[in-house]
Amino acid sequence: MYNSKIIGLGKYVPNNIVTNHDLSKIMDTNDEWITERTGIKERRWVKPESKETTFTMGHEAAKVAIQRSGLDKNEIDFIIFATLSPDYFFPGPGVQIQEALGIKTVGALDVRNQCSGFIYAISVADQFIKTGMYKNILVIGSELQSKGIDKSTRGRSISVIFGDGAGAAVLTREEDNSKGVLSTHLHSEGKHALELASEAPGMGGRWITDIIEDNNPNDLSYFPYMNGQFVFKNAVVRFSEVIMEGLMKNNLKKEAIDMLIPHQANLRIAQFIQKKFGLNDDQVFNNIQKYGNTTAASIPIALCEAWEEGKIKDGDTVVLAAFGSGFTWGSAIIKW
């Protein structure tokens, strides 16, 4: 059995920077309030007049990842695209990537696991490669969330958190089983599904035709809802559990972690996990301060940025971990 190894990373974020001060002009909030609760100072939002989409941002990140991998695009034999904000209700963006890259008719899979989406996508790619079904897989996490959030005071608890952007990774077959993705670990707990959710369209049988017919300007079902304190309390528990699960699977101690890259949901969550595992600042990478929560894109953006800054080196033990809507959570243990 093979292992899978990441050989190319890329990221893309819109040029438009939105600071906490900018938000204070359109809603009742301020920099101190946002920073204290989330750690976020600014985020990237696609400009309303821009033609950028979830797909186009993913495409830009993918092109960089493929170029850095040293592969020809036609050596990619499968595509996995993780997002909660696809361009279309259907089809998903995986096929858009296949077409835009001009890759032959390879399979394209869309993953809808929100904040855990990239971990789930990496796990799927890893299993396909481990079994020998595919050799080179392109994995993308991309989100355009700024156009789907309530930017008024009513929606500030959500809108100050989320940002736009994309990250991508190319995985290939690694015959040395001591290197690459050592293991992945996935979990869910659906009883808490509506604690972090966007209900429309769908809503148990109420579809877009019903919503249009109602024409209710106060219908909040399209906007994301989050029970923040409940999500936070569950996140810190599940992060810890799934990281320990991965370490134990590979007979590793906490001290073996060279770099932890958590999903960028809230800086306080990351700091709690850092303290619990006794890690110093050089062992944890956070960039939520600059980009906010980019959901499925947050881990690949952070992973790419950490690698670009030389904070991940050959032989390092890298741990990826995420928790989010569903609830779903997961981890990946990687020997770089």
Contact 105, 165 (CB under 8 A): no
Q: For residue 144, give both structure tokens.
A: 């355009």
Among the options 115, 185, 234, 286, which is catalytic? 115
To the query of whether residue 293 is one of the catalytic residues in this protein, the response is yes
Among the options 20, 113, 293, 304, which is catalytic? 293
Name the DSSP letter for residue 142: E
Among the options 263, 266, 286, 304, which is catalytic? 263
To the query of whether residue 304 is one of the catalytic residues in this protein, the response is no
The span from the first CA to the last CA of the chain, in angstroms, equals 18
Matching residue, tokens 């972690």: 257
Residue 48, C-beta contacts closer than 8 angstroms, at least 6 positions apart: 147
Dihedral angle computed from the Cα positions of residues 101, 299, 19 and 200, in that order, rounded to the nearest 10 degrees: 80
Burial label, 22 (beta-carbon count in 10 A; 0-12, 13-18, 19+): middle
Strand, helix or coil for residue 199: coil
Q: Which of 118, 331, 327, 335 is nearest to 239 (CA)?
A: 331
User: Can you tell me the distance from the alpha carbon of 131 to that of 126, in angstroms, rounded to the nearest whole number?
Assistant: 9
What is the DSSP code string of 278-335? T--GGGB---HHHH-B-GGGHHHHHHHHHHHTT-S-TT-EEEEEEEETTTEEEEEEEE
- Catalytic sites, residue numbers: 115, 263, 293
